[in-house]
């Protein structure tokens, strides 16, 4: 496993992180029993994964509780990244519908205390706003409080997780330029590069200027949905029948058919290096310096091992990256419908 710095925080994170939402929700076609969840988490640790990304609302705290149970005796070796902002304490989520948000100071302090209790820790490494709207990101008092929590040691850093759907460019760029965030989480993959490219370019531009007064300087990008909901791993094709509760059912069949055609255009690049399409997809992401960690969706140990093996330091060169960018810019763009 290779490791990178998480933005300006200096926190070292594994290039492949563990997206723990599947431990609390059955939205990916499979319910993971607690016994299996514990085995997967322990395997992740054994192969060098140290970054575990979750949220308080994943299973109404279930995901956090399992992580806290497994790693309570090795806390200093593990990076806890969790999110807050949905009022799961007063509202019941029905299927995939969003529940009301509370991005305010009182709820921040309350939610943080509850998450620390479930995770069995007295600090959180990365504490991110969960799918915030622009009014929350522009709330000076809220971000002053987050900065104070860093000063007090309750959290080591804070960030913004964009969503639920792909997009939210205005929110992401505002947070990068105007807030002391360590990281920004976004959907980004070889088929869906926008608005991720805007965030990557803003970070690169700030680093080239070496202007530490520019808040975009050294913001680590955390990538979710790196496999385009299974399309890039071959687990989802136009023939795949998904249950209504499966998150991937938001992908329209027409989108999947078009995506499969675009994958074929990439295949020669993968084959020239002896790689599969899934390997190309992950290595494409890890070939970009501003990206700190890739957070794939994992359902079992086999998938976990497969993703971890891709973080080997053997990534795309400049010529290959240019090839992919040319494909993308020349009618390669695919619109999407994805929520998380």
Calculate the alpha carbon distances from 163 to 125, 131, 310, 320 in Å: 21, 5, 26, 30
Residue-wise pLDDT for 145-188, tens only, equals: 999 999 999 999 999 999 998 999 999 999 999 999 999 999 99
Tokens describing residue 19: 């997206």
Sort strands 3-5 and 12-14 into parallel, antiparallel or unpaired.
antiparallel
Residue, of 230 and 261, whose pLDDT is higher: 261
What's this model's pTM, rounded to 2 decimal places?
0.91
Calculate the alpha carbon distances from 330 to 169, 310, 327, 334 in Å: 22, 28, 5, 11
| pLDDT mean across residues, the chain | 90
Whole-angstrom Cα distance, residue 293 to residue 282? Answer: 11
Quick check: 212 pLDDT over 70? no
Percentage above 90 pLDDT, the chain: 73
Whole-angstrom Cα distance, residue 122 to residue 170? Answer: 33
Tell me the average pLDDT across 281-302: 95
Residue-wise pLDDT for 1-37, tens only, equals: 999 999 999 899 999 999 998 897 765 566 889 999 9
Quick check: 338 pLDDT over 80? no
Quick check: 331 pLDDT over 70? no
Confidence of residue 205 (pLDDT cuts 50, 70, 90): confident
Predicted pLDDT of residue 141: 97
Whole-angstrom Cα distance, residue 84 to residue 81? Answer: 10
Predicted pLDDT of residue 246: 57
Quick check: 227 pLDDT over 50? yes
Confidence of residue 240 (pLDDT cuts 50, 70, 90): low
Tell me the average pLDDT across 197-209: 86
Whole-angstrom Cα distance, residue 339 to residue 48? Answer: 29
């Amino acid at each position: 496993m290779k490791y990178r710095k998480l933005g300006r925080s200096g926190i070292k994170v594994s290039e492949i992180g563990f997206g723990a939402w599947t431990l609390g929700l059955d939205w990916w076609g499979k319910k993971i029993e607690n016994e299996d969840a514990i085995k997967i988490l322990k395997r992740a640790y054994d192969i060098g994964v140290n970054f575990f990304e979750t949220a308080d609302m994943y299973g109404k705290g279930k995901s956090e509780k399992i992580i806290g149970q497994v790693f309570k005796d090795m806390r200093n070796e593990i990076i806890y990244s969790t999110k807050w902002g949905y009022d799961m304490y007063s509202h019941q989520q029905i299927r995939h519908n969003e529940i009301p948000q509370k991005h305010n100071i009182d709820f921040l302090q309350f939610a943080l205390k509850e998450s620390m209790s479930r995770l069995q820790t007295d600090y959180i490494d990365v504490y991110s706003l969960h799918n915030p709207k622009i009014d929350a990101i522009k709330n000076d008092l809220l971000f002053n409080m987050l900065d104070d929590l860093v000063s007090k040691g309750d959290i080591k850093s804070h960030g913004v997780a964009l969503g639920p759907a792909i997009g939210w460019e205005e929110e992401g760029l505002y947070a990068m330029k105007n807030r002391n965030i360590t990281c920004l989480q976004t959907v980004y993959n070889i088929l869906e590069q926008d608005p991720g490219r805007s965030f990557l370019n803003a970070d690169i531009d700030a680093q080239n200027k070496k202007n530490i007064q520019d808040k975009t300087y050294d913001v680590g990008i955390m990538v979710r949905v790196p496999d385009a909901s299974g399309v890039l791993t071959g687990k989802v094709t136009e023939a795949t029948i998904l249950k209504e509760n499966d998150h991937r059912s938001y992908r329209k069949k027409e989108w999947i058919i078009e995506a499969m055609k675009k994958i074929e255009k990439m295949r020669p690049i993968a084959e020239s290096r002896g790689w599969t399409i899934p390997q190309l997809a992950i290595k494409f992401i890890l070939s970009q310096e501003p990206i700190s960690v890739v957070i794939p969706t994992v359902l079992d140990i086999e998938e976990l091992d497969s993703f971890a093996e891709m973080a080997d330091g053997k990534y795309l060169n400049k010529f290959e990256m240019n090839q992919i960018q040319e494909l993308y810019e020349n009618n390669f763009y695919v619109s999407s419908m994805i929520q998380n």
